[in-house]
């Protein structure tokens, strides 16, 4: 058992499974190895076996709060929210003073669009743990979903006061300002989030959307200039339709670059994709990430990178598919959940965006405090 737990801690979850099987063989009436093997399955994205392991553990130990909690988490991942809520409630009956359990059940309630129930659980979590910024971020979300925006802003401001270096807190308040139409305050908060976490796709996506709205408002206010953009359209179309006809000087300048040796490893191709993202060459980035994925389909970060490139091209459905693939390969990939939330938000799917944001925050909360902030 100790060896198996060590392997899980070292992120070698698959390697831990034989050790758990041996522990079960030696003592088939001990609930713990069934529970922990189920946890390892869940970390690998195998939620059916995770649920089976927790169910067996609970048959042997019906008062095992951790087994109820972990089975509830697994149920939520496969969208069985009623079962998830029931398990979280059972865990809370055994451990009524655990703030994290209230936040976990609230995440399930939110996925069920039971926002009043989620608000009540998040309030209780704050009562039990008043110094936890993630709880204020989450409760702020509940307030906003219930139309109680002033209280939502108060909670997210409190999160910033508790953790001024936590990018998620600034992003949460900035996103709320954006959704309620206060673009100036939204951009101020989002710029601070970007400074703290420069590579976060959700932050960049909301910033882009906010700036587009600002520009649209400026254009609407300057009506005499409305006709000015029309002459630009043929130039844009020509550039899009005829990329194969560059000026001779441009073609000559590009020729030496084309002959440079390409990276041959998946990681090298992924780095190329990120370099192209930095240059705003999103088509090139998609191609580079696709080549990385072809070389190593298990490379979750390449799927996440391609998803971000697609999102910058406004291909939100394609981005969601890639982010989902990244999560399937690494179920603890907080950044992929955050990025997918941004794509869902761009499509107007607030429920899924909120669920992914909560999952990202939950994963961040499990990191050491100096890392999470």
pLDDT score at 245: 39
- Do 1-96 and 263-372 agree at the fold level? yes
pLDDT of residue 255 exceeding 70, the answer is no
Q: Average pLDDT, whole number, for the chain?
A: 80
pLDDT of residue 284 exceeding 50, the answer is yes
Which helix H or strand E contains 118, and what residues bound it?
A: helix 115-128
Phi and psi torsions of 173, nearest 5°: -70, -40
265: pLDDT confidence band, cut at 50, 70 and 90? confident
229: pLDDT confidence band, cut at 50, 70 and 90? low
pLDDT score at 20: 79
Q: Rounded to the nearest 10 degrees, how much is the dihedral formed by the CA atoms of 164, 170, 171, 174?
A: 180
Give the CATH number of domain 1-96; options: 2.70.150.10, 3.40.50.2020, 1.25.40.10, 2.102.10.10: 1.25.40.10
pLDDT score at 365: 62
- pLDDT more than 90, % of the chain: 34
Give start and end residues of each alpha helix (H) in 61-113: 65-77, 81-94, 99-111
Q: Look at the domain 263-372 and name its fold.
A: 1.25.40
pTM of the shown model: 0.60
Q: Using an 8 Å Cβ cutoff, are 124 and 109 in contact?
A: no
pLDDT score at 227: 53
Domain ranges of the chain: 1-96, 263-372
pLDDT tens profile 90-143:
999 999 999 999 999 999 998 898 999 999 999 999 999 999 998 999 999 999
68: pLDDT confidence band, cut at 50, 70 and 90? very high
């Amino acid at each position: 058992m100790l060896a198996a737990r060590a392997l899980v801690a070292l992120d070698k979850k698959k390697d831990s499974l034989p050790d758990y099987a041996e522990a079960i063989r030696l003592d088939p009436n001990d609930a713990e190895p069934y529970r922990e093997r189920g946890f390892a399955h869940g970390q690998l994205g195998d939620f059916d076996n995770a649920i089976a392991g927790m169910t067996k553990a609970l048959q042997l130990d019906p008062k095992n709060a951790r087994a109820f909690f972990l089975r509830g988490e697994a149920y939520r991942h496969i969208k069985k929210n009623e079962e998830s809520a029931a398990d979280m409630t059972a865990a809370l009956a055994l451990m009524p003073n655990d703030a994290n359990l209230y936040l976990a059940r609230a995440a399930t309630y939110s996925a069920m669009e039971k926002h009043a129930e989620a608000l009540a659980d998040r309030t209780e979590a704050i009562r039990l743990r008043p110094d936890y910024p993630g709880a204020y971020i989450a409760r702020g979300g509940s307030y906003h979903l219930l139309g109680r925006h002033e209280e939502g802003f108060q909670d997210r401001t409190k999160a910033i006061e508790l953790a001024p270096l936590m990018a998620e807190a600034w992003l949460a308040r900035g996103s709320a300002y954006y959704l309620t139409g206060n673009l100036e305050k939204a951009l101020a908060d989002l710029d601070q989030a970007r400074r703290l976490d420069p590579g976060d796709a959700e932050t960049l996506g909301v910033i882009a959307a906010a700036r587009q709205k600002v520009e649209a408002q400026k254009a609407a206010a300057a009506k005499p200039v409305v006709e000015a953009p029309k002459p630009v359209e043929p130039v844009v179309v020509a550039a899009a339709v005829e990329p194969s006809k560059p000026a001779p000087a441009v073609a000559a300048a590009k020729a030496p670059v084309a002959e440079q040796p390409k990276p041959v490893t998946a990681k090298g191709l992924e780095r190329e994709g990120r370099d192209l993202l930095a240059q705003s060459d999103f088509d090139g980035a998609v191609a580079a990430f696709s080549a990385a994925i072809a070389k190593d389909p298990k490379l979750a970060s390449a799927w996440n990178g391609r998803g971000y490139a697609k999102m910058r091209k406004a291909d939100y459905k394609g981005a969601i598919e890639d982010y989902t693939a990244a999560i399937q390969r690494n179920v603890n990939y907080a950044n992929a959940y955050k990025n997918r939330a941004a794509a869902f938000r761009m499509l107007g799917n607030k429920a899924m965006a909120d669920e992914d944001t909560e999952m990202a925050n939950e994963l961040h909360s499990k990191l050491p405090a100096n890392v999470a902030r």
